[in-house]
Structure 1
Amino acid sequence: MDPIKEFEQERQEIIRELGKDQDIAAASNEWMRLVNAKKYSYTFTSLGRPIIQYPQDMVAMQELIWQIKPDLIIETGIAHGGSLIMSASALAMLDMCDAIEAGKNIDPSKSERKVLGVDIDIRAHNKAAIEAHPMASRIEMIQGSSIDSEIIEKVKMIAGRYKRVLVCLDSNHTHEHVLAELEAYAPLVSKDSYCVVFDTVIEDLPADMFGDRPWGPGDNPKTALHAYLKSHPEFEIDKNIDHKLLVSVAPDGFLKRIG
Structure 2
Amino acid sequence: MSNPIAAFKQETADRIQSNGTNAALQEAARSFNTESNKAQYSYNFKWMGRPVIQYPQDILAMQELIWEIKPDLIIETGIAHGGSLIFYASVLELVGKGEVLGIDIDIREHNKKEIEAHPMFKRITMIQGSSIAAETVEQVKAFAKDKPVIMVVLDSNHTHEHVLEELKAYAPLVSLNSYVVVFDTIVEHLPEDYLPGLKRPWGIGDNPLTAVRTYLAENPQFEIDDSINNKLLISVAPDGYLKRVK
Alignment of 1:227 onto 2:220: no
1:42 Cα deviation from its structure 2 partner: 0.3
Output the CA distance in 1 between the equivalents of 2:139 and 2:213: 27
Output the CA distance in 1 between the equivalents of 2:194 and 2:19: 28
Alignment of 1:116 onto 2:116: no
Which amino acid letter does the alignment assign opposite residue 197 of structure 1?
Answer: V
* Counterpart mapping for 1:91-130 below 5 A: 91-95=92-96, 113-130=98-115
What is the RMSD computed on CA atoms of the aligned residues? Answer: 0.7
* Counterpart mapping for 1:136-175 below 5 A: 136-175=121-160
Which amino acid letter does the alignment assign opposite residue 4 of structure 2?
Answer: P
Q: Deviations over 1:214-256 (max 9, x none)?
A: 0001000000000000110000000000000000000000000
Partner SS, residue 168 of structure 2:
helix
Output the CA distance in 1 between the equivalents of 2:178 and 2:4: 28
1:54 Cα deviation from its structure 2 partner: 0.1
Output the CA distance in 1 between the equivalents of 2:3 and 2:217: 41
The aligned counterpart of 1:63 is 64
Partner SS, residue 88 of structure 2:
helix
Q: Deviations over 1:48-98 (max 9, x none)?
A: 100000000000000000110000000000000000000000110011xxx
Structure 1 runs of 4+ with >3 Å offset:
none
Which amino acid letter does the alignment assign opposite residue 89 of structure 2?
Answer: A
The aligned counterpart of 1:84 is 85
Partner SS, residue 193 of structure 2:
helix
1:160 Cα deviation from its structure 2 partner: 1.0
Size of the alignment, in residue pairs? 243
Output the CA distance in 2 between the equivalents of 1:172 and 1:237: 21
Give the alignment's TM-score, normalised by structure 2. Answer: 0.98
Output the CA distance in 1 between the equivalents of 2:32 and 2:208: 21
1:242 pairs with one of 229, 232, 237? 229
The aligned counterpart of 1:46 is 47
Partner SS, residue 24 of structure 2:
helix
Alignment of 1:19 onto 2:20: yes
The aligned counterpart of 1:99 is none
Output the CA distance in 1 between the equivalents of 2:133 and 2:241: 24
Q: Deviations over 1:28-61 (max 9, x none)?
A: 1111111111110000000110000000000000
Which amino acid letter does the alignment assign opposite residue 253 of structure 1?
Answer: G
Segments of 5+ residues of structure 2 without an aligned counterpart are none
The aligned counterpart of 1:188 is 173
1:161 Cα deviation from its structure 2 partner: 2.4
1:2 Cα deviation from its structure 2 partner: 0.5
Output the CA distance in 1 between the equivalents of 2:241 and 2:159: 18
Which amino acid letter does the alignment assign opposite residue 149 of structure 1?
Answer: A
Which amino acid letter does the alignment assign opposite residue 128 of structure 2?
Answer: Q
Which amino acid letter does the alignment assign opposite residue 2 of structure 1?
Answer: N
Output the CA distance in 2 between the equivalents of 1:43 and 1:73: 24
Which amino acid letter does the alignment assign opposite residue 138 of structure 1?
Answer: R
1:207 pairs with one of 180, 184, 192? 192
Output the CA distance in 2 between the equivalents of 1:151 and 1:129: 23
The aligned counterpart of 1:75 is 76
The aligned counterpart of 2:243 is 256
Give the alignment's TM-score, normalised by structure 1. Answer: 0.93
